[in-house]
Amino acid sequence: MNKQLNETAKKVVAKTILAADESTKTITKRLATIGVVSNPEVNRQYRQILFTANEIEKYVSGVILYDETIRQKTDDGIPFTKLLSQEGVIPGIKVDMGTVKFSDDKPDTYTEGLEGLEKRLLEYKNLGAKFAKWRSVFTIAGGSPTDEAVEKNAQDLALYAKICQDAEIVPIVEPEVLMDGNHSIEKDKEVTERVLASVFNKLKAHNVDLSGVILKPNMVTSGKDNPQQADTETVAQTTLEVMKETVPPEVPGIAFLSGGQSPELATRHLNAINKIRNTDQNKYPWRITASFGRALQGEALEAWGGKNENVTVAQKVFIERAEKVFLASLGQL
């Protein structure tokens, strides 16, 4: 076991992780929802609102940055990574380069970015990153995800994790089974279990040190177009069953993505999961927190609306949500 990696991983999941690593395409989409046109300077101003929010460090222990963002500075010329580190918030970096389809007739994708990864990691490390993130995506539809897609994505997640650890960077391993579709929670359970089992098989096969890994999975829910949505208790119970079945006890932390759930619902689910976890921490040995993008930022983005005069209220809204998510990560909401 690599003590350094394990300690960093534990620190990153100590509170919550803010996913602020939207790619250029994704941040463009998010800003468009408030009528703002994305460019590097606007993106910087928006992310500065989040990173400079008063007492962010009380609720947020890690922030995932994007290649553009890790090079940016505050209005006062302080690099974001330095600002965050000074506040005791650990900077991380998205290192995958997005998804590519296997074929036109199926939704299955694999993720690019292994080429030259070692070199990029060294640069990010010099810029202050202590952890990284790689996202694989799985869609439930017809015969998808196929065995080929599950195998290839699990394999690449393992290769990525190994390269990170060799560079003394903690890998966040993110296999996301999308909520898109009208499938049942049972179907989501089956697929998420299949994906996570494959991911941990490959991580072990590639000698990845599981004590220096953070898992970032989806919660197990009904498909978002299913009119019959599983209730909070069922989501919490089912999600924990899948984690118990697949996640080895050495893994220090599980940080759930929000996946398009509303801030309120994602927070409620996290709280319910941790309430169960608190009843038996031997059975559920990992720290369980959030690494939300939309569910941490959505309300703040709306409150800001691209206007300078709204910065203070946007920060207040962001911190209020961050506090709730942190409390939910303790099952204390």
Catalytic residue IDs: 174, 216
Q: How far is the CB of 207 from ligand 13P (least distance, A)?
A: 26
Strand pairing partners for 144?
A: 141
Q: Using alpha carbons, select from 250, 165, 181 the residue that is nearest to residue 218.
A: 181
- Name which of residues 164 to 183 contact ligand 13P (CB under 6 A): 174
The answer for residues whose C-beta is within 8 angstroms of residue 214's C-beta and 6 or more apart is: 9, 12, 13, 131, 170, 171, 172, 173, 251, 252, 253, 254, 255, 291
Residue 321 found at the interface with ligand 13P (CB under 6 A) = no
Query: CA-to-CA distance for 326 and 333, rounded, in angstroms?
Result: 9
Q: How far is the CB of 210 from ligand 13P (least distance, A)?
A: 21
Query: CA-to-CA distance for 100 and 113, rounded, in angstroms?
Result: 11
178/240 with CB nearer ligand 13P: 178
Binding mask 207-246 for ligand 13P (x = CB under 6 A): ----------------------------------------
Binding mask 15-54 for ligand 13P (x = CB under 6 A): ----x-----------------------------------
Q: How far is the CB of 294 from ligand 13P (least distance, A)?
A: 3
What is the enclosing helix (H) or strand (E) of 177? strand 170-177
- 50, 89, 173, 295: which one binds ligand 13P (CB under 6 A): 295
Query: CA-to-CA distance for 45 and 72, rounded, in angstroms?
Result: 10
Residue 294 found at the interface with ligand 13P (CB under 6 A) = yes
Residue 13 found at the interface with ligand 13P (CB under 6 A) = no
Q: Which residue type does 199 have?
A: V
Q: Using alpha carbons, select from 241, 173, 244 the residue that is nearest to residue 210.
A: 173
Q: How far is the CB of 1 from ligand 13P (least distance, A)?
A: 27
